Amino acid sequence: MNTKLSAAIYNILKPLIILMGRECIAFGDFSRLTKQAFINVIEQELLASGQKATTSRISIITGLTRREVATLRKAQVPKQEQDFHQNRAVRVISGWISDAEFCDDKGVAAPLLLQGKKGSFEALVARHSGDIPYRAMVNELIRIGAVELMEDGKVVLVRAVYGPSADKEEKYELLGEDVALLISTINHNIYQPEEPYYQRKVCYDNIPKECVEEFRALANKENQRLLIKLNTWLAERDMDKQSNIKSEHPVKLGVGVYYFEEKNTGKKG
């Protein structure tokens, strides 16, 4: 195996192993998942290229025994289905910041009365979330810290991008989706360098600890601003919301942003 690739895989595994250790996931369980993923991906790759995905062929490519391949092909693969309420919550927030009926004169998401036929939170949910009851939706958005219910009965948007709540299960789902998307982007850039996806980071490793809170606040503010802008652009072209836009080739588009902070034990100012 390529030395740099081995080092990259090793570095990817380290934080994942820390998480698994904290959740008491044994190596045997991890090994089984890895084998299942190998088999499933190789099978899909063979079928996509028009080849036969036989147990023998998969065994040769993966290095696993035919018995292991045959057994694990029959086993149920763990799946992460997008949470129904999360998907609807994203639509409601997107509609709030992009639909003129629910914005103020400056184009900013306006405080909304909880009930009403027009320009209210109830109307917002009805337009952008289908048949979800508006009270269930406001409770969900309060739970994740996206809105606040004021004393005057109005609902105020305080976080314009859907993010993880304190729910550990929801964070597991984001781990599976977001890390996979980042690796897929890097994979694309390795094998299709002529049309690379945007992938950048800014990092300095000798910053005073006293600057951490200031930078974290700055990063949160600027990243939020960027995501709101990109979210508005995508919402205006989302075929689920824009009935006048048609295409036989829908595409999943997005940009992910994350903050990181680690101790540096190798340097001292």
The DSSP result for 169-197, as a single string, is HHHHHHHHHHHHHHHHHHHHHHH-TTSPP
Higher pLDDT, 218 or 158: 218
Q: What's residue 42's pLDDT?
A: 95
Q: What is the mean pLDDT of residues 226-234?
A: 86
Q: What is the mean pLDDT of residues 179-184?
A: 95
Three-state SS at 115: coil
Q: Identify the DSSP state of 80.
A: -
Q: Give the full edge-to-edge strand order of the sheet including 154-157.
A: 112-113, 154-157, 147-149
- Residue 40 neighbours by CB distance under 10 Å: 15
Q: What's residue 258's pLDDT?
A: 93
Task: Provide the pLDDT confidence category of residue 82 given band limits of 50, 70 and 90.
Answer: low
> In whole angstroms, what is the distance from residue 220 CA to residue 179 CA?
20
Task: Provide the pLDDT confidence category of residue 169 given band limits of 50, 70 and 90.
Answer: confident
Q: Answer yes or no: are the C-beta atoms of 43 and 130 closer than 8 Å.
A: no
Q: What is the residue type of 241? A: K
Helices 121-129 & 134-143 angle (0-180, nearest 10): 100
Q: What's residue 269's pLDDT?
A: 57
Place of tokens 């952008």: 128
Q: What's residue 244's pLDDT?
A: 83
Residue 224's H or E segment, with its range, is: helix 212-235
Which residue, 146, 185, 182, is CA-closest to 164?
146
Residue 155 in this model has a pLDDT that exceeds 90: yes
Q: What's residue 30's pLDDT?
A: 94
| pLDDT 10s digits, 66-79 | 999 999 999 888 87
> In whole angstroms, what is the distance from residue 52 CA to residue 54 CA?
6
Task: Provide the pLDDT confidence category of residue 7 given band limits of 50, 70 and 90.
Answer: very high
Q: Identify the DSSP state of 103.
A: B
Place of tokens 């570095």: 11
Q: Answer yes or no: are the C-beta atoms of 112 and 128 closer than 8 Å.
A: no
Q: What's residue 105's pLDDT?
A: 86
| pLDDT 10s digits, 187-218 | 999 999 999 999 999 999 999 999 999 999 99
Least confident window among 81-85, 106-110, 175-179: 81-85
Task: Provide the pLDDT confidence category of residue 240 given band limits of 50, 70 and 90.
Answer: confident
Q: What is the CA radius of gyration of the chain?
A: 23
Three-state SS at 13: helix
Least confident window among 31-40, 83-92, 204-213: 83-92
Task: Provide the pLDDT confidence category of residue 52 given band limits of 50, 70 and 90.
Answer: very high
Higher pLDDT, 63 or 235: 63
Q: Answer yes or no: are the C-beta atoms of 223 and 259 closer than 8 Å.
A: yes
Q: What is the mean pLDDT of residues 218-241?
A: 85
